[in-house]
Amino acid sequence: MTQKRLSDSIADDIISMIVIEKRFQPGDKLPNENELSEELNISRTTLREAIRILVTNGIVEIKRGKGTFIKEALDIDHMQHFGLLTDAKINAKDLYEMRLIFEPEAAYYATIRASDQEMKRIIDYGLQIEEKIKKKQDRTAEEQKFHQSIVKATHNEFMEKLMPVIYQAIDKGVILSVEKEVAIKDTLNDHQMIMDFMKNRNPEGARSAMKIHILHAMSELGIE
């Protein structure tokens, strides 16, 4: 790993301390250089480079003689949903393994717990994806909303909090390959299967259908 990539990764770690762990709030002072570099097990040079990345992204500010502070006006909700993470590359294999563990279970619980209104929303987004595919239009936004609406319907607050972490990478274009006809056909069939099982309130079926959907995506991306 190069110095640049390590500093990107450390910047991500510090953002996680703010957004995910809630260790620091806007206006808080970061631990001093020695403490933080020791905790993160890195050199002070790498830490300084990571802080510089965070300054550039408007996340922290350096007050001369006082230290490094989280910006007062930092909008943490904005960071959670759209992410200001650095350009560190997120490993597609790790990402899809995470989806494989997480999303089939989300589909299972959503099928049991979704209100009629929430179920209607899930189906509507699924149909919008089909329309986009048929018109050969970009469906990224609808794809996100479809998966997000399923997770929302689990009524599990922690599952919802995991969404920005998983979809951060999709926002940054983790889809590495040009889709082939077979992949498009798989997506249409998979989504139809997920929607049918959910509509019929069959949680086991929904779980299996979601698993197949993600395995198809992994196969298309060449992820073992």
pLDDT of the residue at 171: 52
Residues 6+ away with beta carbon under 8 Å from 153: 109, 110, 113, 114, 115, 118, 119, 122
Distance CA 104, CA 208 (A): 7
Distance CA 201, CA 62 (A): 54
pLDDT of the residue at 180: 65
**Residue by residue, what is the 3-state secondary structure of the chain?**
CCHHHHHHHHHHHHHHHHHCCCCCCCCCECCCHHHHHHHCCCCHHHHHHHHHHHHHCCCEEEECCCEEEECCCCCHHHHHHHCCCCCCCCCHHHHHHHHHHHHHHHHHHHHHHCCHHHHHHHHHHHHHHHHHHHCCCCCHHHHHHHHHHHHHCCCCHHHHHHHHHHHHHHHCCCCCCCCCHHHHHHHHHHHHHHHHHHHCCCHHHHHHHHHHHHHHHHHHCCCC
pLDDT of the residue at 169: 52
pLDDT of the residue at 20: 74
pLDDT of the residue at 2: 44
Cα torsion angle, 39, 101, 194, 153, sign: negative
Phi, psi of 67 (to 5 degrees): 130, -165
Return the structure tokens found at 51. Answer: 């802080």
Can you list the residues of the chain whose pLDDT is less than 50?
1-3, 81-90, 172-178
pTM over 0.85: no
Q: Render the burial of 49-65: b for 16+ CB within 10 Å, e for the rest.
A: bbbebbeeeebbeeeee
Distance CA 93, CA 97 (A): 6
Distance CA 151, CA 132 (A): 22
Q: In DSSP terms, which residues pair with 61 in a beta bridge?
A: 69
